[in-house]
């Protein structure tokens, strides 16, 4: 995690503690410390997996690791006193059994973790996690792989985290997606393997909400995990793909506290999805000033103007990628001139993945706005947020025009 990324995360999460909150954090600190002590007393689930060895292999030292721990503590919205515990929780990743199953998906979340020339600390930590079963990357296949799954489920009953990647097709009695020697449907599979899990983490938007397979006309009647599994803690890590830092931080939280982090109404961790892209976007000043890219390659595009009118859905999207960015904080889609397509929101493919604004940005404002050209494509999809943004955008455009007149 580079210096810039660490500073951005700290800036976004001001950790000033009110005196009445201190007692809560003190109690949480003691509870977390006790949990880590008992985990440390257990042997690693497998030999040879150690985060510090993995870091050394990549030329990173303890200072890099502690910087990462500091940023992750801030990401989790915990006060700085938790930093040593967060570091220790990362060291104990090899005590957490994870079973990762792939359903109806492109394996893009797995790819995002694997395809890296210079792994980040998050990726290295995920490398040393005790991944007991992952059919995409494991060497075993067929009956051998099946036996490995059954063995992991029995050995770690009630303790493993089930990571689900992909949606669950319900059409044709579930026959669109089957696996294993008995052609178990994805629906039966996720319910059976989920039944003995400690918690289920839906990795990516397909597992969380159905994602791209559920896009119109949704031929397989695809749904997310939360639609078919009951009675288990479910954490949705939406995104296409989910950011590795959010995977690591979520698991760190579970290790530290023994419970899922606070979730929003879509069952996503608030620490990661409590932010609107638009509110932490470096182009926001241009939005406020009414400076928009009108088409790709124009003057505005060359001067990093706001991408709202060429389809950015940052105003409707909740995710922290505008803060933590991708590739170790190097950049993110809006940073390279491509609007956000709302990949962490339900139905994003139908609602947001097009290069025009939901509300067309130039809708008639209630105070007699001057703009007339409503884009009817998105009109039926207007949301309260969309309408609000449209009005704001119109006001911004008017302000921009006035600036031009006065110039």
110 binds ligand SF4 (CB under 6 A): no
Burial class (CB in 10 A: 0-12, 13-18, 19+), 372: exposed
Residue 239 beta carbon to ligand SF4: minimum distance, rounded to whole angstroms = 6
Residue 314 beta carbon to ligand SF4: minimum distance, rounded to whole angstroms = 2
Please identify, using beta-carbon distances, which residue of 198 and 332 lies nearer to ligand SF4. 332
Please identify, using beta-carbon distances, which residue of 102 and 320 lies nearer to ligand SF4. 320
The owner of tokens 């506290």 is: 257
Q: Which two tokens stand for residue 181?
A: 């020697």
Q: Are 155 and 193 in contact (CB under 8 A)?
A: no
Q: b vs e for 182-210, b when ≥16 Cβ sit within 10 Å of the residue's Cβ?
A: eebbbbbbbbebbebbbbbbbbbbbbbbb
Binding pattern for the stretch 362-391 against ligand SF4, x by CB under 6 A and - elsewhere = ------------------------------
Out of 174, 315, 329, 378, point to the residue binding ligand SF4 (CB under 6 A): 315
306 binds ligand SF4 (CB under 6 A): yes
314 binds ligand SF4 (CB under 6 A): yes
3-state secondary structure of 206: helix
Please identify, using beta-carbon distances, which residue of 203 and 306 lies nearer to ligand SF4. 306
DSSP for 272-322, written as a single string:
HHSSBGGGG-TTHHHHHHT-B--STTSHHHHTT-B-GGGT--GGG-B-SHH
Please identify, using beta-carbon distances, which residue of 100 and 287 lies nearer to ligand SF4. 287
Q: Are strands 184-185 and 168-169 parallel, antiparallel or unpaired?
A: unpaired
Stretch that binds ligand SF4, among 21-29, 162-170, 248-256, 326-334 (CB under 6 A): 326-334
Stretch that binds ligand SF4, among 124-132, 143-151, 261-269, 341-349 (CB under 6 A): 341-349
Binding pattern for the stretch 266-295 against ligand SF4, x by CB under 6 A and - elsewhere = -----------xx--x-xx--x--------
CA distance 130 to 148: 13
Please identify, using beta-carbon distances, which residue of 229 and 389 lies nearer to ligand SF4. 389
Please identify, using beta-carbon distances, which residue of 87 and 306 lies nearer to ligand SF4. 306
Stretch that binds ligand SF4, among 117-125, 193-201, 256-264, 327-335 (CB under 6 A): 327-335
Out of 101, 104, 249, 344, point to the residue binding ligand SF4 (CB under 6 A): 344
Half-sphere exposure of 291 (CA within 13 A, CB side): 15
Out of 334, 358, 360, 397, point to the residue binding ligand SF4 (CB under 6 A): 334
Kindly give, in sequence order, each residue whose CB lies less than 8 Å from that of residue 76, ignoring residues fewer than 6 positions away. Answer: 82, 86, 249, 252, 253, 261, 271
Residue 173 beta carbon to ligand SF4: minimum distance, rounded to whole angstroms = 33
CA distance 325 to 245: 10
Residue 65 beta carbon to ligand SF4: minimum distance, rounded to whole angstroms = 26
Out of 70, 120, 249, 319, point to the residue binding ligand SF4 (CB under 6 A): 319
CA distance 327 to 337: 16
Q: Which two tokens stand for residue 170?
A: 């319900």
Helical (H) or strand (E) element with 387: helix 384-406
Q: Are 4 and 12 in contact (CB under 8 A)?
A: no
Please identify, using beta-carbon distances, which residue of 62 and 302 lies nearer to ligand SF4. 302
Please identify, using beta-carbon distances, which residue of 176 and 275 lies nearer to ligand SF4. 275
CA distance 220 to 31: 45
Binding pattern for the stretch 225-254 against ligand SF4, x by CB under 6 A and - elsewhere = --------------x---------------
Strand partners, 102: 165
Residues that bind ligand SF4 (CB under 6 A): 239, 277-278, 281, 283-284, 287, 306-308, 312, 314-315, 317, 319, 321, 332-334, 339-344
């Amino acid at each position: 995690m580079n210096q810039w990324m660490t500073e951005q995360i700290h800036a976004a999460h001001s950790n000033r503690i009110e005196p009445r909150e201190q007692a809560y954090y003190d109690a949480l600190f003691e509870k977390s410390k006790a949990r880590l002590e008992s985990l440390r007393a257990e042997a690693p689930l497998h030999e040879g997996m150690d985060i510090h060895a993995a870091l050394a292999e990549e030329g990173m030292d303890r200072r890099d690791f502690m910087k990462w721990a500091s940023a992750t503590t801030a990401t989790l919205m915990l006060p700085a006193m938790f930093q040593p515990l967060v570091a220790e929780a990362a060291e104990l990743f090899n005590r957490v059994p994870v079973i990762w199953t792939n359903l109806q998906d492109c394996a893009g979340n797995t790819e995002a973790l694997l395809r890296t020339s210079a792994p980040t600390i998050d990726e290295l930590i995920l490398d040393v996690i005790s991944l007991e079963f992952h059919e995409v990357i494991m060497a075993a296949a067929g009956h051998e792989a099946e036996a490995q799954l059954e063995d992991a489920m029995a050995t770690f009953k009630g303790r493993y985290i089930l990571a689900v990647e992909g949606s669950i097709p319900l059409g044709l009695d579930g026959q669109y997606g089957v696996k294993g020697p008995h052609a178990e449907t994805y629906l039966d599979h996720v319910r059976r393997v989920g039944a003995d899990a400690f918690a289920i983490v839906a990795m990516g938007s397909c597992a969380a909400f159905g994602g791209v397979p559920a896009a119109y006309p949704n031929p397989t009647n695809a749904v997310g995990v939360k639609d078919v599994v009951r009675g288990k803690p479910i954490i949705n890590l939406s995104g296409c793909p989910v950011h590795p830092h959010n995977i690591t931080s979520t698991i760190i939280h579970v290790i530290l506290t023994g419970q899922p982090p606070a979730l929003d109404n879509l069952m996503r961790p608030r620490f990661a999805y409590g932010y609107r892209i638009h509110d932490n976007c470096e182009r926001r000043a241009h939005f406020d000033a009414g400076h928009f890219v009108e088409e790709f390659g124009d003057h505005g595009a060359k001067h990093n103007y706001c991408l709202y009118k060429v389809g950015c859905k940052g105003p409707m999207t909740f995710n922290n990628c505008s803060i933590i960015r991708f590739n170790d904080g190097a950049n993110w889609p809006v940073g390279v001139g491509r609007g956000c397509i709302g990949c962490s929101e339900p139905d994003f493919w139908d609602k947001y993945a097009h290069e025009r604004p939901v509300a067309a940005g130039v809708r008639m404002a209630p105070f007699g706005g001057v703009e007339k050209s409503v884009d009817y494509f998105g009109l039926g999809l207007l949301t309260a947020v969309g309408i609000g943004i449209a009005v704001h955008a119109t006001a911004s455009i008017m302000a921009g025009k006035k600036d031009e007149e006065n110039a």
